[in-house]
Amino acid sequence: MSQWFDTIVTQFGQLPWDAIGQQLTYNPESPMIFSSGIFLWLFAGFIIVYAMLHRHLAARLIFVTAFSYYFYYKSSGLYFFLLALVTCSDWLIAQRMHRTVSQTGRKWLVALSLLIDLGLLGYFKYTNFFGHIFAQMTGGHFSDLSIFLPVGISFFTFQSLSYTIDVYRRKIRPLDSLLDYAFYVSFFPQLVAGPIVRASDFIPQIRRPLRVTRTMVGTGLWFIICGLFKKAVISDYISVNFVERVFADPSLYSGLENLLGVYGYALQIYCDFSGYSDMAIGIALLMGFHFNINFNSPYKSASITEFWRRWHISLSSWLRDYLYISLGGNRKGRVRQYLNLFITMLLGGLWHGASWNFVAWGSLHGVALMLHKMWMQLTGQKTGVPHRRKWVQVLCVVATFHFACLCWIFFRNREFSGSMTMLNQIFTNFHPELLWQLLTGYWQVMLLMVLGFVLHFVPDRVEARCKRAFVSLPMVCYVLVLVVMVVIIIQVKSSDIQPFIYFQF
């Protein structure tokens, strides 16, 4: 017996503990993402324990919250304390607000929540940007501070703010349990890159009896597989092998290559972000929670207004409900409505990042929304499309897509000069004769781009039929499809894990 025990201890000591420790601790060069191998292994263990706790609500809430904080630690290191700070402060403020009768007192409390949440966001995201602006205005000099932007801070601060604002507006009652609120804010499927989940949608699900049906499992795996394909196959491949090269120095490429690079980025950012959202929705479903859809084939839009009803729906609806309506919405005349639209999109651009490129991106969308609203009011059209003829609809979709692509140029480039260089190349140095050379030299990239856009424009009824067919398969087929997807990802992935684009926001 003693010899057997000594053998076990020896073998245990020979395990590669250093390598295991490196995988389990924070690595700024390799943050945890859904498509990484370490997450898949951790989630497999997580879901087993989660299922074992299905009859123990308090233990399950503690376990998921602890895992969520660990997930955030693997994404941002010790900055998880900011998540705890926002959680505790907004929970306490909402509690006090609920007990405060005076409207003035309630206003001061919601202002305090705004100050804490937006103050943290402002410091980590905008200090250097506004520091340079102030220095230029005063003729001084400003040196960038070494400030690390915690992953997902824009998402969890907006999510927590929606809770305190809804309590202030008396739309929801505050939670009595800090654990419940911590569970809501830190829920790991949507913690670092959305979707921004409303308290009114999520909180009622927390204490429901855990029930995961076979349909929910099939639907969840469908979303996860679709998200993995979008992110790890299409987005990462066309990014590493074409898009990044063009945007790194647009002057080295012809206008045709720049235009195809813009088309590639339009597909890349959609597949990257909607792929993450799909995986978040799927993982939540496997845990018994329902999220609203965050992307609805946005490039099918026939107007810029429709585009923002289909793109990043959780953010656009958040900006509408908590910023646009707070500014007055459409209640104070047409001129004020147009101004409110512009301000909302300008601040929406700044939400994405602290640079003049994002200001330009938000401003372009703001002006487009203003003009489209004017057109709708002048023509009396509810959709903004004057005819229902098919060719007119197609032209509107093409025009909207190309306007979105124009805006993506400013969104993607780090410097404003890079955006102007790219536009100059497209309009003055096009060289269409290079098309065949591009198609043959980058045939894998072009094939994936065509596949990505074809899948994007597949009719909704066809997509729904495919999903129903997948969900109806036997459980063993789910596993086989997932294994095939992992094999495909291994074959096409680059040497380094490509972080999700929206991690930087």
pTM of the model: 0.87
> Over the stretch 431-460, which tens digit does the pLDDT of each residue have?
888 889 888 888 889 999 999 999 999 998
127-169, pLDDT tens digit by residue? Answer: 887 887 888 888 778 787 787 778 778 888 989 999 999 999 9
Nearest C-alpha neighbor of 195 from the set 82, 121, 272, 274? 274
Of 25-39, 187-201, 254-268, 491-505, where does mean pLDDT reach its minimum? 491-505
Contacts by 382-391, CB closer than 8 A, 24 or more apart: 383/302, 383/303, 383/306, 384/302, 384/303, 384/305, 384/306, 385/302, 385/303
Residue 488 in this model has a pLDDT that exceeds 80: no
Give the pLDDT confidence of 63-79 residue by residue, as tens digits.
999 999 988 888 877 88
- pLDDT for 505 equals 58
Residue 107 and residue 143: Cα distance in Å, rounded?
A: 37
Q: Measured between alpha carbons, how far is 350 from 125 in angstroms, rounded to an integer?
A: 10
Task: Spot the catalytic one: 352, 365, 372, 456.
Answer: 352
CB atoms within 10 A of CB 170: 10
Q: What's the confidence (pLDDT) of residue 11?
A: 45
490 is written with which tokens? Answer: 């291994």
Q: Is residue 126 within 8 Å of residue 149, measured between CB atoms?
A: no
**Is-catalytic flag, 352?**
yes
219-259, pLDDT tens digit by residue?
A: 999 999 899 889 888 998 899 889 999 999 999 999 999 99
Tokens 């898009």, residue located? 243
Q: Which residue has the tokens 């927590």?
A: 160
Cα separation, 94 vs 184, whole angstroms: 14
pLDDT in tens, 290-338: 998 899 999 999 999 999 999 989 989 989 888 888 888 788 778 888 8
Three-state secondary-structure class, residue 378: helix
d(CA 236, CA 489): 10
Mean of all residue pLDDT scores within the chain: 85
Q: Both tokens of residue 390?
A: 């098919």
Q: What is the pLDDT of residue 124?
A: 85
**Cβ count near 235 (within 10 Å):** 30
| C-alpha torsion 233→237→239→241, nearest 10 | -170
